[in-house]
Amino acid sequence: MAHSTANPVFWIVFFAAVLLLMAVDLTLFHRKAHAVSMREASVWAVVWVTLSLAFGGGVHFYFGPQKGIEFFAGYLVEYALSVDNLFVFILLFSYFAVPAKLHHKVLFWGILGALLMRLAFILVGTALIGRFHWILYIFGAFLVFTGIRMLRGKEAEVEPGKNPVVRFFRRMVPLASGYDSGTFCVTRAGKMLFTPLALVLVAVETTDVVFAMDSIPAVFGVTTDPFIVYTSNVCAILGLRSMYFLLAASIERFVYLGIGVGLVLMFIGIKMLVAIVYSISTGLSLCVVGAILAGSILISLVRPPRAASSTPDSALIRSDSNEK
């Protein structure tokens, strides 16, 4: 007999497991700041993906096959949309000249903050959908619009220096210079000052809010169960740090992945819009999303464009670095 995802015990167990894993990661394996090697990133990527797949298997077993399919579909969608975050991380670390040994620390606390912010987004979204079901059609139209913009290459560029929260932080908060301390704040002459690392963390958190506005509605297109939406989000972003260290040097090779993500957004948006007359099954959605993403990655590797090394993202990173 399948259990109900509304049982608060499952939420508590999930939160406890996530916090325990992150505590072990920080205190045991990354107690000392260091540049993450490709080997270390590969091991952690396998660990997080394996744990996510195991959790998905648990969802299938405890809550039934339908919830299991919904989890894996949501996980795949969120993972695909999170690829854009990798470009942003590269941009932010380059713009603020963050030492490689401190990248993991910023991503760790940035993801911890994202877990809390996304929980708030999902709970609010679930409440709104429960009260005003037509909001799903607004989400669907928004996803189709966003997907079309991505296909036309009109994604909004992330410019850290123009981020209003970052500018406010710079203006209102006393900042120390340099990353020597490796901490978010220091005490000098009896006065507490924030370091540039705190500013980078603020930039990471605020940009994640922007990305959540795409990814969370997309997962709502797969399922409206808040437990499945949240756990699939969390499992995807927990593995994002390892994927950053694993793919940062080669992510520009996947030049058609952005097109694939745009198509995924359009497909999910259309699925939400036509639901009133035709319901596309979650299983079929999972197959379509997987095929689109696999195809975009394969085409990127087999037939890369001649100018692949000069993507807008890399150009923006270099220009921001030169302006500093």
Question: Which residue has better confidence, 165 or 316?
Answer: 165
> How many CA atoms within 13 Å lie on the side-chain side of 195?
16
Band of residue 324 on the pLDDT scale cut at 50, 70, 90? very low
The pLDDT, as a whole number, for residue 57 is 93
Overall average pLDDT of the 274-297 stretch = 85
Measured CA to CA, the distance from residue 95 to residue 324 in angstroms comes to: 7
Q: Which two tokens stand for residue 9?
A: 């015990």
Residue 314: other Cβ atoms inside 10 A? 17
Measured CA to CA, the distance from residue 223 to residue 69 in angstroms comes to: 10
Please check the confidence at residue 246 and state whether its pLDDT lies above 80.
no
Overall average pLDDT of the 23-51 stretch = 79
Overall average pLDDT of the 275-281 stretch = 83
- pTM of the model as a whole: 0.77
Measured CA to CA, the distance from residue 229 to residue 67 in angstroms comes to: 10
Mean pLDDT of the chain: 80
Please check the confidence at residue 313 and state whether its pLDDT lies above 50.
no
What is the DSSP annotation of 31-51? SS--PPPHHHHHHHHHHHHHH
Please check the confidence at residue 80 and state whether its pLDDT lies above 70.
yes
Band of residue 314 on the pLDDT scale cut at 50, 70, 90? very low
Overall average pLDDT of the 282-301 stretch = 86
Question: Which residue has better confidence, 28 or 114?
Answer: 114
Band of residue 307 on the pLDDT scale cut at 50, 70, 90? low
Measured CA to CA, the distance from residue 40 to residue 110 in angstroms comes to: 20
The pLDDT, as a whole number, for residue 252 is 66
DSSP state of 173: S
Q: Could you tell me how far CA 324 lies from the centroid of its own chain?
A: 27
Residue-wise pLDDT for 203-242, tens only, equals: 888 877 777 777 788 888 888 899 999 999 899 888 877 7
Please check the confidence at residue 41 and state whether its pLDDT lies above 80.
no
Please check the confidence at residue 72 and state whether its pLDDT lies above 90.
yes
Contact at 8 Å (CB) between 311 and 98?
no
The pLDDT, as a whole number, for residue 309 is 45
Question: Which residue has better confidence, 279 or 158?
Answer: 279
Measured CA to CA, the distance from residue 276 to residue 102 in angstroms comes to: 49
Please check the confidence at residue 196 and state whether its pLDDT lies above 70.
yes
The secondary element (H helix, E strand) that includes residue 290 is helix 282-302
Contact at 8 Å (CB) between 5 and 228?
yes
Overall average pLDDT of the 287-312 stretch = 75
Q: Which two tokens stand for residue 112?
A: 């911890």
Contact at 8 Å (CB) between 324 and 95?
yes
Which of 282, 280, 287 has its CA nearest to residue 70? 282
